[in-house]
């Protein structure tokens, strides 16, 4: 069973993880999810989790002590500590695939200007610590990144999607779809507002359909993702 633990100052932000596909998987015991309020690990009167940055500058930095208390409690030697941050390594489908086979993922959601760097340094000698970014833009905190990463990982865990659904044809999937995005899809009716479904899809020739889909994927990748098409 893959267990997710999320530490955040906004636990309600993670509520959508209990909806739909993931909610069902959690109910069925295929996945585990616990969300923890960082302020529960801050023991001063105001449950302070942030302070001014050393060296000056705008904004606030998350204090290390509450993180230390929370992470000491949650991490085991088998855990991976994931810290979402725009300064991290880009998150990829290959990484989602790798995480989906792990027993325990712990997410540390930073807010403000981020978490005191000594937290990552300290735990790097105890567990694998991954700083992960969703892309080249800045979010207000790690919570939305965690929603994204957990969903991308969870749907790859056997038993989370219906086993009738294959993830092999997904955009970016290792194998035939590596460095490709999926091409267009169609359903009934055969004509909609004078637009027809490509004839080959109703031909019943599965080899030809597979070849056509591969060509469509390459064309779409060239148009929308020239960065991938070159690789
Ligand atoms: Cl993972 N976190 C934040 N706060 N901003 C981001 C991001 C992550 N990825 C892109 N921007």
> Residue 62: which of 5, 150, 141 has the closest Cα?
141
Task: Find the 82 Cα to ligand 1 centroid distance in Å.
Answer: 12
Question: What residues act catalytically?
Answer: 86, 113, 155, 170
Task: Find the 220 Cα to ligand 1 centroid distance in Å.
Answer: 27
Task: Find the 11 Cα to ligand 1 centroid distance in Å.
Answer: 17
- 153 pLDDT above the threshold of 70: yes
Task: Find the 174 Cα to ligand 1 centroid distance in Å.
Answer: 24
Q: Is the CB of 148 under 6 A from ligand 1?
A: no
pLDDT for 176 equals 84
Q: Using omega within 30 degrees of 0 as the cis cutoff, is the peptide bond preceding 194 cis?
A: no
DSSP single-letter state for residue 142: S
Q: Is the CB of 84 under 6 A from ligand 1?
A: yes
Phi-psi region of 57 (alpha: psi -120 to 50; beta: other; left: phi over 0): left
> Residue 157: which of 199, 96, 76 has the closest Cα?
96
pTM: 0.95
Q: Hey, which of 8, 81, 82, 84 would you mutate to test ligand 1's pocket, going by the most ligand atoms within 8 Å of its Cβ?
A: 84
In this structure, of 54-63, 96-105, 163-172, the range with the lowest mean pLDDT score is 163-172
- 111 pLDDT above the threshold of 90: no
Indicate which residue's Cα is closest to atom 8 of ligand 1.
Answer: 85
In this structure, of 20-34, 96-110, 129-143, 165-179, the range with the lowest mean pLDDT score is 165-179
Q: What residues have CB less than 8 Å from 218, skipping those under 6 apart?
A: 180, 229
pLDDT digits (tens, 9 = 90+) for 64-84: 999 999 999 999 999 999 999
- 231 pLDDT above the threshold of 70: no
pLDDT for 154 equals 97
pLDDT for 166 equals 78
Tell me, rounded to whole angstroms, the distance of Cα 209 from its chain centroid: 31
> Residue 150: which of 211, 209, 104 has the closest Cα?
104
- 164 pLDDT above the threshold of 60: no
Residue 123 CB burial class (10 angstroms; 0-12, 13-18, ≥19): buried
DSSP 146-205: HHHHHHHHHTTSTTTS-TTS-STTSTT-SSTTTT--------S-SEETTEEPPGGGGS--
| DSSP E strands, the chain | 2-8, 31-37, 50-51, 61-62, 80-90, 104-108, 128-133, 191-192, 195-196
What average pLDDT does range 129-156 have in this prediction? 97
Q: Is the CB of 115 under 6 A from ligand 1?
A: no
């Amino acid at each position: 069973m893959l267990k997710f633990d999320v530490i955040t100052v906004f636990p309600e932000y993670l509520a959508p993880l209990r909806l739909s596909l993931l909610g069902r998987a959690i109910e069925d015991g295929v996945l585990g999810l616990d969300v923890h309020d960082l302020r529960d690990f801050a023991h001063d009167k105001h449950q302070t989790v942030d302070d001014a940055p050393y060296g000056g500058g705008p904004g606030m930095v998350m204090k290390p002590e509450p993180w230390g208390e929370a992470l000491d409690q949650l991490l085991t030697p088998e855990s991976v500590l994931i810290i979402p941050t725009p300064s991290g390594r880009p998150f990829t489908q290959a990484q989602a695939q790798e995480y989906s086979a792990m027993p325990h993922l712990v997410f540390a959601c930073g807010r403000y200007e981020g978490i005191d760097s000594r937290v990552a340094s300290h735990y790097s000698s105890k567990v694998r610590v991954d700083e992960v970014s969703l892309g080249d833009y800045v979010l207000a905190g790690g919570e939305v990144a965690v929603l994204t990463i957990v969903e991308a990982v969870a749907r790859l865990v056997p038993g989370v999607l219906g086993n009738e659904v294959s993830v092999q044809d997904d955009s970016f999937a290792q194998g035939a779809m590596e460095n490709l995005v999926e091409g267009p899809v169609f359903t009934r009716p055969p004509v909609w507002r004078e637009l027809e479904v490509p004839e080959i899809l109703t031909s019943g020739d599965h080899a030809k359909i597979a070849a056509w889909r591969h060509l469509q994927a390459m064309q779409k990748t060239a148009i929308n993702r020239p960065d991938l098409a070159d690789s």
